[in-house]
A and B are shown apart, each in its own frame.
Chain A
């Protein structure tokens, strides 16, 4: 049994009764980075929220390390598309939110949060407030908050799509860099994205969803050696393969 098993998830909007997710199944192994891609509005974010325990699926199950997910768990963390930082707390305080439920002293919390901020290159911005930061830096705070509690599963909901391409690119590099660090590495990462190149660049496995209702169209492995070069033939081939899946 894989580290994370998503098993036949069905979900319909409670109000309209419209089916959004239709029997979604896939799995992720330890140390795997999995991307879920699909057209916008297909229900990717809903699927991710079901995995986080924020939304209840109509049927099906999510099993993480042998345990069924029934609600938000302290071993799962989440990065939001719109950052979702609390504007009235300093960046350091925001990161400490990630440790709020841990049995630690206030000093330990502060030190752990500071370490994580430094790792994400936010030294000097500890006491600033989120709204004074650029989008890229806000998302660094968001990542720090998600990683600071050492989650075993990290869920990311289009973490780079609110950013311009240059900022997104440098942040992707930082994420790859930070995730190399074995000490803070979550055992699995699931990222929702609508950017095919981004998915190919970062993932070991890509789950391709179709639209209305979403079913799993295909699951592809990406075995390109890292660091990946977007211009390489191998890379282009993978990207084209995914485009052709959507064109079908």
Chain B
């Protein structure tokens, strides 16, 4: 038994090494990107929309693709590990960039004047102003990134073990799969306990300390912070400037011209490419597209079905915890611990519970993957409510249904919308293991009849890069379209009133 626990701890340390390397890389990239984007208007215009889109994409779904590319160029286990670390970085990076960006943007201009008056050079400005000013917000975002990263880590490890040729050799995910494959419930339970202990230890030993260190640099005179939400921040701040109406019009014209040119270019390329494309490939592509769309439709129904269930549960639960309970802090701590357990590691246990009903299993995994994002997003929104709201409630005797209708349900709307974007992205992220999962050596744990997650697995197993590409392109297009036409519109409407 001791040996078993020892091997679990060792494997967890492998996983944590990947996480720490990824965190370090993310911090360095985010620090410099964030500062650069905040200080350069040109970079800002180019990079921010890209970052904004990237952070709402389910990049984990790209894992099969990334693994294929990395292993192709880097030998064996180095390639797989690089792919895992790369994936974790892509999960951690965006919100740290936004954190740094926000910190620098909200720095009072006196600091820049001061730097100019005393002729500080770039190095001095970084050392004395930008980096210290960025630290508190960076620290805040890092612990969030860590939680997201854990999900990516475990899911990518589990996924990789399920593939024949691309398995990581050590990692906590490996232990979970091993436990599932052999039906060793002791191993499974030890793994979960060790994992949670590692999560708690990291929080206490690393993040709490770093937070205390970083907060020494907290400036009381940051320009008044409005509600800090990352998704859509960029587009919102650009959209609302009413005094720059002409510039806005110009921007729209520029965009129309750009898209027109793009359409022309794409049309031209396709027209010219037709003679060269062999008919076989073309018919294959059409077939793949049909298959992709069908898979996407089925996965869409699962993801959104689970999302509706998430909304039905997270809204009353969050309202209860935030507004109606006096043990809010204790509940949130509990939630944080639950949320730190990636839903994907529960897969083998849930598979047992539902007797291998793959549809139900996928639904539960989707549900658990998205739930916490929505809850934490709602909780985060309510942090920025005016403090006097509780007093208003009591002075004017707003109770029961009136309070729900006029205060709670309305107050959480921005949080529900941003939570929906990140929560649904997290659901899609889970798709690569939720819909299809084999515990190596042919032991199939779950497999839905049709869906994107399953299709990606099948494509990787057959080294079918083309199918993978078509699947991912369809998925990305769908998410961007929904974000643009549904969530961003809702968000802008709500935000023009709320802030």
- Of A31-39, A79-87, A220-228, the stretch lying at the interface with chain B is A79-87
Residue of A nearest to B403 (CB): A100
Q: A86-B389, A89-B410 are in contact. Are A72 and B394 (CB under 8 A)?
A: yes
Residue interface bits A62-105, CB-to-B below 8 A is 1, else 0: 00000000011010111010101011110001000110110000
* A112 located at the interface, meaning its Cβ lies under 8 Å from any Cβ of chain B in the complex: no
Residue of A nearest to B388 (CB): A84
| A91-132 CB contacts (< 8 Å) to partner B | 93, 97-98, 100-101, 129, 131
Q: Is the CB of B497 within 8 A of A129?
A: yes
Contact B392 A97 (CB under 8 A): yes
Residue from the set A49, A80, A145 with the largest chain B CB neighbour count within 10 Å? A80
Q: Which residues in window 277-308 of B have CB below 8 A to A?
A: none
Q: Measured between alpha carbons, how far is A100 from B410 in the docked complex, in Å? A: 17
Whether, in the assembled complex, B462 has its beta carbon less than 8 Å from a beta carbon of chain A, the answer is no
Residue of A whose beta carbon sits closest to that of B410? A88
Cα–Cα, bound, A61→B112 (Å): 54
B497 touches A131 (CB 8 A): yes
- A98-B499 in contact (CB<8A): no
Report whether A72 and B406 are in contact in the complex, using a CB–CB cutoff of 8 Å.
Answer: no
Q: Which residue from B394, B398, B399, B497 sits with its C-beta under 8 Å from A97? A: B398
- Given the known inter-chain contacts A97-B406, A129-B497, A131-B497, please indicate yes or no for A86 contacting B397, CB distance below 8 A: no
Contact check, B395 vs A87: say whether CB atoms are below 8 A apart.
Answer: no
Q: Is A54 an interface residue (CB 8 A)?
A: yes
Q: Is the CB of A98 within 8 A of B388?
A: no
* Cα A87 to Cα B406 with chains together (Å): 11
Q: Which of A52, A89, A101, A149 sits near B406, CB closer than 8 Å?
A: A89
One of A74, A88, A100, A129 near B402 (C-beta < 8 A): A100
Q: Smallest CB-CB separation from A88: which chain B residue?
A: B410
> B388 to chain A: which residues have CB within 8 Å?
80, 82, 84
Most buried by A among B389, B396, B410: B396
B413 on the A face (CB < 8 A): yes
For B456-499 the 0/1 string (1 means CB < 8 A from A) is: 00000000000000000000000000000000000000000111
- Beyond A80-B388, A86-B406, A87-B498, is A54–B398 a contact (Cβ under 8 Å)? no
Query: Is the Cβ of A74 less than 8 Å from the Cβ of B397?
Result: yes
CA distance A176 to B113 in the complex (A): 45
Closest to B398 in A: A100
Q: Which residues of A contact B407 (CB under 8 A)?
A: 86
Chief secondary structure at chain A's binding surface: loop
What distance in Å separates the Cβ of A112 from its nearest Cβ neighbour in chain B?
Answer: 14
Assess the B411–A88 pair: CB atoms within 8 A.
yes
Residues of B within 8 A of A54 (CB): 391, 394-395
In whole angstroms, what is the CA distance A93 to B394 when docked? Answer: 17
What is the CA–CA distance of A129 and B497 in the complex, to the nearest angstrom?
6
Give the residues from 139 to 154 in chain A that come closer than 8 angstroms, CB to CB, to chain B. Answer: 145, 149
Known: A74-B397, A101-B397. A87 touches B391 (CB 8 A): no
A71 to B399, CA, bound (A): 14
What CA separation (Å) do A59 and B309 show in the bound complex?
Answer: 50
A31 and B397 alpha carbons, distance in the complex (Å): 25
Residue picked from B394, B395, B406, most chain A C-beta under 10 Å: B395
Given known A-B contacts A97-B406, A101-B397, A131-B498, A86 and B391 have beta carbons under 8 A apart: no
The answer on a CB contact under 8 Å between B391 and A100 is no
**In the complex, residue of chain B having the shortest beta-carbon distance to the beta carbon of A81:** B388
Given known pairs A86-B407, A89-B410, A129-B497, the reply for A98 and B391 (CB within 8 Å) is no
Decide: B413 and A88 in contact? CB cutoff 8 A. Answer: yes
Question: With the chains together, A89 CA to B410 CA distance in Å?
Answer: 9
Measured between alpha carbons, how far is A49 from B395 in the docked complex, in Å?
10
Contacts of A82 in B (CB 8 A): 386, 388
List, in ascending order, chain B residues with CB within 8 A of A53's CB. 394
Say how far A95's CB is from chain B's closest CB, in angstroms: 11
For chain B, residues 397 to 427, give those with C-beta under 8 angstroms from any C-beta of chain A: 397-399, 402, 406-407, 410-411, 413
- For residue B402, which residues in chain A have a CB less than 8 angstroms away from its CB? 100
Known: A86-B389, A88-B497, A88-B498. A97 touches B411 (CB 8 A): no
Inter-chain contact A101/B396, CB cutoff 8 Å: yes
Give Cα A129–Cα B495 distance, bound, in whole angstroms. 11
Contacts A80-B388, A131-B497, A131-B499; is A86 near B394 (CB within 8 Å)? Answer: no
Chain B's closest residue to A93 (CB) is B406
Binary contact readout A25-61 vs B (1 if CB under 8 angstroms, 0 otherwise): 0000000000000000000000001001110000000
A131 vs B495: C-alpha distance in the bound complex, in angstroms? 10
* CA–CA, A52 and B410, complex, Å: 26
**Residues from 330 to 355 in B contacting A, C-beta threshold 8 Å:** none
Name the distance in Å between A125's Cβ and chain B's nearest Cβ: 14
Complex Cα distance A93/B396, Å? 13
In Å, the complex CA distance between A72 and B391 comes to: 9
CA distance A82 to B387 in the complex (A): 10
Measured CA separation A74–B398 after assembly (Å): 11
Q: Determine how close the nearest CB of chain A comes to the CB of B499; give it in whole angstroms.
A: 7
**Which residues, 157 to 211 on A, are CB-close (under 8 Å) to B?**
none
B386's nearest neighbour on chain A, judged by CB, is: A84
Tell me whether A84 and B397 are in contact in the complex, defined as CB-CB below 8 angstroms, given that A89-B406, A129-B497, A131-B499 are known contacts: no
User: Closest Cβ of chain A: how far from B68's Cβ, in Å?
Assistant: 48
A78 x B395 contact (CB < 8 A): yes
Listed residue (B399, B406, B413) with the most chain A CB atoms within 10 angstroms of its CB: B406
Question: Which of B386, B394, B397 gathers most chain A CB within 10 Å?
Answer: B397
Contact A84 B389 (CB under 8 A): yes
Q: How far is the CB of A55 from chain B (nearest CB, A)?
A: 10
Residues from chain A with Cβ under 8 Å of B499 in the complex: 87, 131
CA distance A126 to B411 in the complex (A): 20
State which residues 366-407 of B face A: CB under 8 Å: 386, 388-389, 391-392, 394-399, 402, 406-407
Contact residues in A for B410 (Cβ distance below 8 Å): 86, 88-89
Contact B386 A72 (CB under 8 A): no
Tell me the B258-281 residues at the A interface (CB within 8 Å). Answer: none
Given contacts A88-B410, A88-B413, A89-B410, contact A72 B395 (CB under 8 A): yes
**Chain B interface residues toward A at CB < 8 A:** 386, 388-389, 391-392, 394-399, 402, 406-407, 410-411, 413, 497-499
Known A-B contacts: A72-B395, A100-B397. Give 19 more (CB < 8 A). Answer: A52-B395, A54-B395, A72-B397, A74-B397, A77-B395, A80-B388, A80-B391, A84-B386, A84-B389, A86-B406, A86-B407, A88-B410, A88-B497, A88-B498, A97-B392, A97-B398, A100-B402, A100-B406, A101-B398
A-B pairs, 8 with minimum CB distance = A84-B388, A101-B397, A88-B410, A72-B394, A78-B395, A129-B497, A84-B392, A87-B498
A-B contact pairs, 13 of them (CB 8 A): A76-B395, A78-B391, A78-B395, A84-B391, A84-B392, A86-B389, A86-B392, A86-B406, A89-B406, A89-B410, A97-B398, A100-B396, A100-B406
